[in-house]
Copies of this chain bind each other. A is one copy, B any other.
Amino acid sequence: MNPLSATGLKNVWADYEQDLLAVENCLIEFGGDTNDYIRDVTSHIIKSGGKRLRPLLMIISSRLSGYSGPHMVLLSAVVEFIHTATLLHDDVVDHAEMRRGRLSANQVWGNQTAVLVGDYLYATALWMATGVHIHEINDVLTLACRKMSEGEVLELILDNNLSAREEDYFNVVECKTAALTAGTCRMGAVLGGMDAEHQAALESFGYNIGMSFQIADDTLDYMARADRLGKTLGKDLAEGKMTLPLLHCLSTASIPQRESLVQKIGKGEVSDQQLREVVDLMKSTGSLDFSLEKAISFMRKAKQALDPFPDSLHKQNLLFLSDFVIERDI
């Protein structure tokens, strides 16, 4: 991240410091209030950081829509819990060893605990959300959750599937990531009592920023410097994740190049030498540029979606966040 965007980003977070602090307290309050063991596991993953992007989207969308009451903080914690539950289950499914620079929960406490505490956080989130007693919120949130879980299954089916198409990939990203960011922003608009047009606008913003974020993330897995991103480079290749740069490269490489690439997919690990070869190939086929362009295109749509809103600090911050999802690690 360049110093300019780092400062700008810090400013966005700073504008909502009190709200985000309240969200942290809420995460601690509900993350295992009834049981010490659950609290330990939850604390491990909650306190290991994370960008709190979804809470931030909830807070800014709510405030942009004129709402800053208690439901804003509660639902911010809800979407973070849902995201956290997904991470716990993802790490079991992917046999992950690290998460956010620390040992993953499945490594520390075992798969069983990771599955069941994931269930607990998910159930807690839905219990908190339905307690707000707004049917529209429930409808948006539970539909997003259903799509998310469908996306997780779709992604699993796609692993190592050499006949996967780009549209399959976009479908996974839409379900797995964009459904919750779209729902989050829409819930902010619902809290603020926005009309249908402005609800749809914020939902579209959330959808497009989610798409952009995930595509950028999947591209950075082949581009980022490992020390910056805090995750192992080439992880998706090793796990056989059919992400956009890989799919584009497979469909544009020469037959011998493709053969060589296929040999490296889903083998559980990739040597530095192999990864360098793949990245060089992706550069020569333009696959990294192609993927980044896609991410940028969704980012632009996210920004455009905010047109119905007059200029304001909150709108500026959402626009700034849109840039961040692309620029954060290049």
Contacts and interface: CB of A to CB of B under 8 A. Distances in A.
Contacts of A149: 116, 119-120, 122-124
A131 to B, nearest CB: 7
A300 B149 CA distance: 41
A116 B153 CA distance: 6
A123 B145 contact: yes
A133 interface: yes
Contacts of A130: 130, 135, 138-139, 142
Contacts of A92: 111-112, 115
Interface string A262-295: 0000000000000000000000000000000000
A35 interface: yes
Interface residues of A, number: 38
A269 to B, nearest CB: 19
A297 to B, nearest CB: 26
Given A130-B138, A146-B127, A93 B122 contact: no
20 contacts: A35-B150, A37-B153, A38-B150, A38-B153, A93-B112, A93-B116, A113-B156, A115-B115, A116-B149, A116-B153, A119-B152, A120-B150, A124-B149, A127-B145, A127-B146, A130-B130, A130-B142, A131-B139, A131-B142, A138-B138
Interface of A: 34-35, 37-38, 89, 92-93, 111-113, 115-117, 119-120, 122-124, 126-127, 130-131, 133, 135, 138-139, 142-143, 145-146, 148-150, 152-154, 156-157
